[in-house]
Chain A
Amino acid sequence: MRKLIADWFEDRAGLGSRLRSMREEHLPAGPRWGYVCGSALLAVLLVQAFTGLMMMTAYSPGTPTAWGSVFFIEKQMWMGWLVRGLHHFGAQTVMVLAAVHLLQVLFAGAYRAPRELNWWLGLVLLGLLVGFGHTGYQLPWDQKGFWATKVSTNIAGGAPVLGPYVKTVVVGGVDYGNQTLTRFYGMHVGILPVLLTITLAAHLALRYRHGLKPPEGAPTEPPPGGWTATYFPDQTFRNSLVVVAIVGLLFGLVFWHGGAPLDAPADPSSPDYPARPEWYFRFLYQMLKYFPGHLEWVGSIVVPGALMTTLALLPLLDKVIPSRALHFLACAGAFAVVGGATFLTIQSFVEDARSESFQAARKKADAENARALFLASHPDFGVPPEGSNYLFRHDPLTRGAALMEKKCLSCHVMGGKGPEGDENAQAGSDLKGFGSLAWIRGLLENPGSDAYFGTSPENDGMVEWKKTTKLTAEQLDQVAEFVAGFAAIGEDQTVDDWLNTEGVADHPGYDPFVKDCGKCHYVGGAASEITEGGDRDAPDLFAWGSPRWFRRMVRQPSHDSLYGFLEADQRMPASPPDEMSDHDVSMIYRYLRGDYLK
């Protein structure tokens, strides 16, 4: 029965005999380790295709969704880290094997007739593989891929004449965005695979037409009794051993790393992301440092292009230059290029390891990376519907700190430090712990210190008060505790509502507050008559330290109820809503109050 079906297929498709002829290919010099490279490359390419297809069922190209879907694959899906890890490290393995395969063919002189066509097809395949690596690198839309792609497409854009147009077409516009992702995705999973399949099919067909290149001195006539070694199973056994070793190494890398890296979501506004290409492009990256900016394209396009052209011309040069001399030159050149690339790669990594600014930027990026993964996987946070680019905008710790640095730390300080530890011309209070009991108690103890009004001497009301006040330390504790409670006053609460709340009028700090602080400060305006006020100009303390008070302080610091009594140039500058949204103000507030996921 089995034979019947096999014969039926054989008659119609001729598949069996064709496969058999491939399996029974004679190996005049026996099976060789030197023959395994192409097969190993093919095997890893198949792993790439397979894991890639798996991820296509879960990946979603688009700037709001790409990072989230990759995060989902990597961190939430069953064995997603393994599938993506194999694809990630598989891509690097492909690059290594392709380079080894190329060198091996070069050293064997297998570019010579009759294998010229296959040599050229191999070079085309190498170009396609680089295309795969390049387009795949940015699909996660994380910081690493985003910046690396931005740099590499800008390099292409710097080429003379056509460069800018090519770049715009590839990127899908002037800016990097949804079209960049859909185009790169389409290239990576559609266009390139089709081209690769066609080219690879031709490459393999020609390989069978010409056979494997036997080593010199191999017998050309079958020995008496016929050939003993055939491709299957003698060569396939060696291939399988090597493929098992390589795939085993792949698994090892994935397990060791726990998957593939995923950086923080792409943020075009980050000021100091230390962009680096994948390690196999490092030599190009490093080489570019030797070219002045306007000649960038010489280093990035002309040099690699000349190299590829030389390789492509080898079979033709073979006809005009003595074959052995050319081969010697080609091999020497290859050694020089490999040596140079290795040197540049090491140099690049050593430079980074020694650069303090790179290490600092990398450390910051790593911290953001960890924070992004923490937020995305937290059940109370998750990737917001607006997209992964908004992940940090809802996080007081990152967003609040960044806004503080930009908007507040030109005058204020945090824990004695200005932006990134720089000295600033401090002209405001230290906001670390703002509104907390300790902060208020510190103010009541020493209002003239640099942490409070020491750097704004024109604002001397509290300092003057401290000279004359007769409150005891215990009373100051009570007042501080009482004032710290103002932050809990809600958005819609009126002064009367508040006074009638339990623990306000009967708070031990109430009386000393009204009698002592109340000489200057109003609470809810003069009309509320809680305090007498008016001895000196002072801000109204109703709801002091609450979100509503804070928002008004940001929007209208010179309001009569706040610091309107200061001279115009002594007041804090206002931030209108078009400069800082209510959402951002609340991010700063929550950051200062430590109200974020930890």
Chain B
Amino acid sequence: MNRRDFHRLGTWALGGLVKLAVAVPAVAFLLNPLRKKDGTPAAEAFEALVPLSELKVGEPRSFGIVRDQVDAWVKYPREPVGSVWLIRQPEGVEPRVVALNAECPHLGCAVGRSADGEGFYCPCHSSAFDAEGKPMNRIPPRPMDALEVELSQDADPIVSVKFERFRPLATEKIPLA
């Protein structure tokens, strides 16, 4: 290797080193949202919504989920994060209340009740579901997302829901981290 070859190699290598040194942190910086957040206790908590007696059997009612929310650097107390449909089941059926996330498993629009009142319907791309959240056409990739429900020990139990969100378009329920 002569002097000029050494210079040539050195220019490439040193130049590459500098570019790499700056590019690596930059890529990490941009990929920051992919990092797993360490334990968000709010996501584990059940939200108390309504006493059981206020729900009518077979008639879905929608409830907003309001919870403390961390949005990047801001901590919002009591911020709306989504909504759920609660459907009280007939006596003797377990579970006594079914909770469905109102977020459409297709592309995330808000699912409302269908015009005939029998089931659910998403106004964005016509996803239709029956009263239990099962798909009625081929648009949604999976049923509406059922959420865990807890009833308190009171005489008139309080219905609580563990609010979770799942990846749209997937055929399985994959929790959003």
Residue numbers of A with Cβ under 8 A of B are 43, 47, 50-51, 54, 57-58, 65, 68-69, 71-72, 76-80, 82-83, 86, 232-234, 236-237, 239-241, 243-244, 247, 251, 376, 381-385
Contact = CB atoms under 8 A, between A and B. Distances in A.
A410 to B, nearest CB: 35
Contact of A376 (B4, B25, B35, B73): B73
Interface of B: 4, 6-8, 10-11, 14-15, 17-18, 21-22, 24-26, 28-32, 35, 70, 72-77
A218 B106 CA distance: 74
A50 B25 CA distance: 11
From A50, A72, A240, residue with most partner B Cβ within 10 Å: A240
- The 8 closest A-B CB pairs, nearest first, are A382-B75, A240-B14, A68-B73, A233-B7, A237-B7, A72-B73, A233-B8, A79-B28
A466 to B, nearest CB: 47
A80 B32 contact: yes
Contact of B74 (A236, A247, A383): A383
Contact of A51 (B22, B31, B35): B22
A69 B31 CA distance: 17
For B6, B30, B74, which residue has the most chain A Cβ atoms within 10 angstroms?
Answer: B74
Given A72-B72, A232-B11, A241-B14, A82 B25 contact: yes
Chain B residues touching A, majority SS = helix
Given A72-B72, A77-B32, A251 B21 contact: yes
Contacts, number: 95
A58 B73 CA distance: 11
Contacts of B30: 54, 57
A381 B17 CA distance: 41
Contact of A244 (B8, B17, B24, B28): B17
Contacts of B32: 58, 77-78, 80
A23 to B, nearest CB: 10
B75 A381 contact: yes
A47 B24 CA distance: 13
B72 to A, nearest CB: 5
25 contacts: A50-B22, A51-B22, A54-B26, A58-B29, A58-B32, A65-B74, A71-B73, A76-B73, A77-B29, A77-B32, A78-B28, A78-B32, A79-B28, A80-B32, A83-B26, A86-B25, A232-B8, A232-B11, A233-B8, A234-B7, A236-B11, A244-B17, A376-B73, A385-B74, A385-B77
A65 B75 CA distance: 12
A226 to B, nearest CB: 13
Contacts of A76: 72-73
A43 B28 contact: no
Nearest to A64: B74
A233 B4 contact: yes
B58 to A, nearest CB: 40
B14 A243 contact: yes
Nearest to A241: B14
A90 to B, nearest CB: 10
A239 to B, nearest CB: 8
